[in-house]
Structure 1
Amino acid sequence: MKIKKIGILRETKTPPDRRVPFSPAEVHKLQQQFPGVEVVVQPSPIRCYLDEEYRKAGIPLQENPEDCDVLMGVKEVKKETLIPGKTYFFFSHTAKKQPYNRDLLREVLHRKIKLVDYEYLTAPNGARLVAFGHWAGIVGAYNALRAWGERTGDYTLKPAHKCHDRKEMIQQLDKVKLPPIKILITGGGRVAFGALETLTPLHLKQVAPEEFLTTNYDEPVVCRIDPDHYVIRKDYAPFDLKHFFQHPGMYRSVFLPYTKTADLFIACHYWDPHSPVFMKPEDYRAPGFRIKVVADVSCDIRKPIPSTLRASTIANPFYGYNPETEGEGYPFTPDNITVMAVDNLPGELPRDASGDFGNMLLDRVMPALLGEDKDKIIERATITENGRLTEHFKYLQGYVEGKE
């Protein structure tokens, strides 16, 4: 089918997400690149780019998108608004068998929708082509600094979502005054490097893991660690990253020493359910436990980091974890750990994050969608088509049927 018309959907998930797949500027670029394709925008009162901005750019607003060939949103689409037989692009959060979206996937199948999930748009080597992860790291580190200021009373930062854009957010960092604390970042992907990017204006000394564990400093320092610093093989064979990703159950955690040296922990790692956990609840009560703030950008609930009891929201990003009761408490009392576990961090800087995401779509995905898909980019990311799960996602059949 030749695609002639694309509709940008209004976000309907609660809490609301203000991001968009394409800004007005990127729609303009798309139409220059593919002159035969029309783009319309469903009006929205919450979108980070106002309806008027699209209108001024010459992009029509259209309430009913039924005549569009492809419909593109960001987060899950309300199942009652799904139009039968259409092609949809959004983050469906179904491919890992998330129970809360089982009914959504069932409805997608029932309405014979072709569902393309952004998360599975990959190059032939498996690398993701589009993602918001970098922005999760950028905002997550800012929220970590904000939490430290609130906890200590040393400074107050404007919430990121109340800043017009990243530039205004970074200007806020002029207020930050840190004592000689140790900041730890886990992970080696775009999320972790996004976090480091936010810390750059503070001119913190970056130290190696060995120094972080053994040396005291008279200035604040930051250390980023990869998996080979926080897990080892159970059989003591040399660490191999590929082996770790393929066989996470063959490893055990050696993270504990970092809990006795880090003051502020920014978790940006990828965690597999078969991987060892970073900490156990009893570790928080152990003598010498030092972490005061956990900014869990990865946000795996109650799994590798026990203090992440639940996801928090952009409006209320912080809560407390009481090590004695292992329950929730006030975020800023001395006896509690301050937790930041917002699970849609890029939504705090929606204009910047959307612009970056749209550029990735333009460069890496739209040529395959609107031209020749030699590398089968769209095919690999298609979860459902014609009322059936595609070959790549057949493993979801039991999940759809409620058997698992």
Structure 2
Amino acid sequence: MWVRHENRSTECRVPITPRDARVLVQHGLRLTVEESPQRVFPLTDYVDAGCATAPTGSWTGAPDDAYIIGLKELPSEPARLRHRHIYFGHAYKGQPDALPLLHRLADGGGTLLDLEHLTDERGARRAAFGYWAGYAGAALAVLHWWGRLTGPLEPLSRDELDARLHEVRDADAAGQGVSAVVIGALGRSGRGACDALEAAGVTPTRWDVAETRNLDRETLLAHDIVVNAVLTTRPVPPFLAADHLKADRRLSVICDVTCDVGSELNVLPFNDAATDWLRPVRSLQIGNRPLDVIAIDNLPSLLPTEASDDFSAALIAHLLALGDTDPVWARCREAFTTTLATYRNHPPADGGETFLKRGTAHV
């Protein structure tokens, strides 16, 4: 296994912590960890755990049988990908970068084991960052509502973030209470969002399947903040579209934790672009007043230690079974091979639109 440096400068998390790397090494696995200036854990911790080290970006020369493990997108080179890659590829739901990635894998004979599809038989993820995505996203939303969020963002510990949320809670002594609703409140991300809002002194309205089945948009628009934590794998009617956002709404801040921007599964289709650490908030002029949107696709990296600890602890059992017949990896492989077959049978001659619709339908 080869843990690569993350190409994105704001990605501080790791898929495998030094603590769990030690366990893998003790089970006889060879683990190589690349140098990385932004990783939350120092390279010396991996050396102490028995890992080999390698220069930044040297995974391209790793042995053919290595599993290349990361979290976010690969660099644009090499043009052909020959290894087995484990990371969040986001290549099966019609995302804008799906076609180039599948093309590189098809040309190089590589494989994508997308961590988004590391699921049990019910489709629930076996290792996920959802709780910390929800926590960070809701925290940013309430801090922004109070005028206390500025970019660029920087990684924090939970204690540091909570201290900022407690300042907001204490500032609300005058009774200017923030009204917030979390959609998908019973899931991992939703639970994290609710906990962050509670830390800020905000008692959230909690919506889940029952409430989204017959969505009351008037009630949704009557809140100051909406946090979307719903992950859908099939097209559904949008929760809010541009024509729903009338001028007399109370709603002024949305945090889209799910961040399916560019996908036909986007339940907030009025937002067509992600935000980032440099500019975490995007102000959209809809109707007669602005709507501020936070849509950062690596929110858990704001809390890299806590997020990495939880994710690695869940992933390690499956990494130990990677060469066996673990059904969760079998589902990952099936998702990839089916999508790749769709790609090969329906090449993107029309710019990819037909392929993306076919590919999305299968998953």
Which blocks of at least 5 consecutive residues in structure 1 are unaligned?
Answer: 1-5, 151-155, 205-220, 233-253, 326-334
After TM superposition, the score normalised by the length of structure 1 is: 0.75
Deviation digits for residues 62-89 of structure 1 (CA, Å, limit 9, x no counterpart)? 1344236221111122252478643221
**Alignment partner for residue 47 of structure 1, among 39, 44, 47?**
39
- Asked if 1:9 is matched to 2:7, the reply is no
In the other structure, the counterpart of 1:172 is 164
In the other structure, the counterpart of 1:315 is 278
Q: CA deviation at 1:359?
A: 0.8
Deviation digits for residues 92-125 of structure 1 (CA, Å, limit 9, x no counterpart)? 1111233423122111121111321111111223
**Alignment partner for residue 351 of structure 1, among 302, 305, 314?**
305
State how 1:208-357 maps to structure 2 within 5 Å. Answer: 221-232=203-214, 254-271=215-232, 274-287=235-248, 289-301=249-261, 303-324=266-287, 335-357=289-311
Q: Which amino acid aligns with 1:354?
A: S
- Asked if 1:19 is matched to 2:13, the reply is yes
Q: CA deviation at 1:189?
A: 1.3
Which blocks of at least 5 consecutive residues in structure 2 are unaligned?
Answer: 355-363
SS at match of 2:89: coil
In the other structure, the counterpart of 1:3 is none
SS at match of 1:299: coil
Q: Which amino acid aligns with 1:191?
A: S
SS at match of 1:390: helix
**Alignment partner for residue 367 of structure 1, among 297, 316, 320?**
320
Comparing 101-110 and 59-68, the one that deviates more: 59-68
Computing the radius of gyration from Cα coordinates, the structure with the larger value is: 1
Q: Which amino acid aligns with 1:343?
A: D
CA distance in 2, matches of 1:53, 1:82: 33
CA distance in 1, matches of 2:346, 2:277: 30
CA distance in 1, matches of 2:6, 2:347: 24
CA distance in 2, matches of 1:17, 1:54: 18
Q: Which amino acid aligns with 1:144?
A: A
After TM superposition, the score normalised by the length of structure 2 is: 0.83
In the other structure, the counterpart of 2:359 is none
Q: CA deviation at 1:53?
A: 3.3
C-alpha contact 1:147 1:338 (8 A) present in aligned 2: no
Deviation digits for residues 154-181 of structure 1 (CA, Å, limit 9, x no counterpart)? xx36879535422221122221133223
- Asked if 1:390 is matched to 2:334, the reply is no
The alignment covers a number of residue pairs equal to 337
SS at match of 1:119: helix
SS at match of 1:316: coil
CA distance in 2, matches of 1:160, 1:197: 24
